[in-house]
A and B are shown apart, each in its own frame.
Chain A
Amino acid sequence: MSPRRTPPRIPGDKLIDLHAHLWHGREDENARELLEEAGVFGAEYVAISHISVVNPSREQVRQGNDHVARWVKQSGGLFRGQAILNPRHGKGALDELRRCFEESGMRMVKLWVAVRCTDRRVFPIIERCIDLNLPVLQHAFHKATGNMPDESTALDVAELARRYPEARIVMAHIAGDYTFGAWAIRDAPNVWTDISGSYCEAGMVETAVRELGASRVVFGTDNGIAFNLGKVQDARISHAEKRRILYENAKELLP
């Protein structure tokens, strides 16, 4: 097996990946690959959360967060944990957040597709995140082929952000259709977006920067630094904007 070559130069030389996952059943494999890639690129850290099923049970959520906590400990500082929560669990979700915050040192929350983010069961979680000053990574997608029943769109994220202007929300995937996604959140200054999601669409990064400003775009990959880095490398934006996206914004959100 040939060794890997030296990676391309990173604009600004620093990089944080704010969106990566350990998938159920492949936690150790995912973690090892994420660590390898983070090492190859010299990432300062990769923020990881656990993904299992659409509507995970309390036990599944707890086990998933435990996997994340275990790998954060083993990673020598290369992983930061994001607590996955299921808003359907009500007070149980808040208890899990407290456990992840106090016992595992997790400083960010991930919400996926158990409920739409405009569902009232999300609100107590957002309010607790505001109290604890935790940013929230909220999945969003706008699919021409149809969303899952409880999958949030960028419009839902914008509505949540208007309801809670003190919350700091990172919308995942620029909601898939990046034009729709950027337009939906451009008047919600407390929403950032990451650039993961679909494939390596040209124009995604330029559109996000043009509509939101570089200070609201973060480098989150959904597992794949090399691939997503290409979007930033090829983007027709300034070096300073690339640096903000690849490092500075995430460093401010999750120091």
Chain B
Amino acid sequence: MIFDTGCFLGSWPFRSLPAFGLRALKRMAARHRVTRAAVSSFEEIFREDGFEATRAVATLIAGEPWLAQFQVVNPTFPGWEKDLERGIGELGIEGLRLAPGYHAYSLAHTGVAELIAAAREHGLPVALHVRLQDERMHWICRFPPVPMKEVEAFLERSRGVRIGVMGCEISEIRVIAKAVRNRRNVWVDWSRLRALLGGMDRLLEIIPPSRVLYGSLWPLQTPSAMLNLAELARLGRADRKRILWDNGLRFLGRQ
């Protein structure tokens, strides 16, 4: 069983992808033994009226109890509080997703603090995407990654909230390693780990298996690349289950 905390529906605006959408997500899940996934949509990130896309995701996955909807929120956009209220009250969203590099805000923005307060109040996990696609490869637009010093300070301000930091390179994970280790409710994924087999072992030396989450970034990325690293890491059975399943459930607040 695998819990994939980083899946997206919809189409990526800058390039055709070989597979996307709910049917393809189901095929991917069946192939990789993914039995739970946290989903959002690209349209929630790239459309100005993102909440309409949030609503569309809710409709699309209504009959899919294995999927947990994570609403993408831009806490600098006017009226985001109302959209969040509707997401929680009307759509039953189970988590939040932030993409500051794509929405051009700093984690020090006052709206972020307000959003975190709302997440704390409602017990919602927050997936913070430092990047989605490699910033060197973007087409037409530039989306810089979130500076890790900002992430570190954000983690300090977000105590009491479950946070998943997604899309960090290993050098960036080193910057927040202490903050992650010192907190019970912060996790990192390895979607940006480009490494030999020993690289996964080294990640697990600086971040214990209890703080590592699987988030594939499907359909932007190929799950097998990340799963190969997890399968071949020098991990015992319990720790492998932890990073592929248990930690996802804990992040979601189900364990």
Chain A residues within 8 Å of B, Cβ to Cβ: 1-5, 7-8, 33-34, 36-37, 40, 141, 143-145, 176-179, 198-203, 206, 223-231, 233-236
Contacts and interface: CB of A to CB of B under 8 A. Distances in A.
Contact of A202 (B19, B137, B196): B19
B18 A206 contact: yes
Given A33-B197, A34-B196, A227-B225, 19 more contacts: A5-B231, A33-B196, A40-B197, A144-B135, A145-B136, A199-B194, A203-B16, A203-B18, A226-B196, A228-B225, A230-B224, A230-B225, A230-B226, A230-B228, A231-B222, A231-B224, A234-B222, A235-B222, A236-B18
Nearest to A3: B234
Given A230-B226, A235-B18, A40 B232 contact: yes
A199 B191 contact: yes
Contacts of A143: 136-137
Contact of A145 (B135, B193, B235): B135
A143 B138 CA distance: 8
Interface of B: 15-19, 133-139, 142, 191-199, 218-229, 231-236
A200 B225 contact: yes
A226 B223 CA distance: 12
Contacts of B235: 2
A76 to B, nearest CB: 19
Contacts of B233: 4
Contacts, number: 129
A234 B223 CA distance: 8
Nearest to B228: A226
Contacts of B194: 198-200, 224, 227
A186 B103 CA distance: 35
Contacts of B229: 226-227
Contacts of B223: 230, 234
Nearest to A7: B232
Nearest to A206: B18
Contacts of A229: 224-225, 228
23 contacts: A33-B196, A36-B198, A143-B137, A144-B136, A178-B137, A179-B15, A198-B134, A198-B137, A199-B194, A199-B225, A201-B133, A201-B220, A202-B218, A202-B219, A203-B17, A226-B196, A226-B197, A227-B193, A227-B225, A229-B224, A229-B228, A233-B228, A235-B222
B195 A199 contact: no
A144 B136 CA distance: 5
B234 A1 contact: yes
Contacts of A202: 17-19, 218-222
A195 B87 CA distance: 40
A224 B195 contact: yes
Among A177, A198, A199, A235, residue most surrounded by chain B Cβ atoms (within 10 Å): A199
B28 to A, nearest CB: 8
A118 B28 CA distance: 42
Among A4, A176, A201, residue most surrounded by chain B Cβ atoms (within 10 Å): A201
Contacts of A2: 234-236
A8 B228 CA distance: 7
Contacts of B221: 199-202
A5 B232 contact: yes
A37 B18 contact: no
Contacts of B15: 179, 203
Contacts of A37: 196-197
Contacts of B134: 176, 198-199, 201
Nearest to B192: A199
A24 B138 CA distance: 30
Contacts of A225: 196
Nearest to B222: A234
A143 B137 CA distance: 6
Contacts of A231: 222, 224-225
A145 B145 CA distance: 12
A20 to B, nearest CB: 9
Contacts of B227: 230
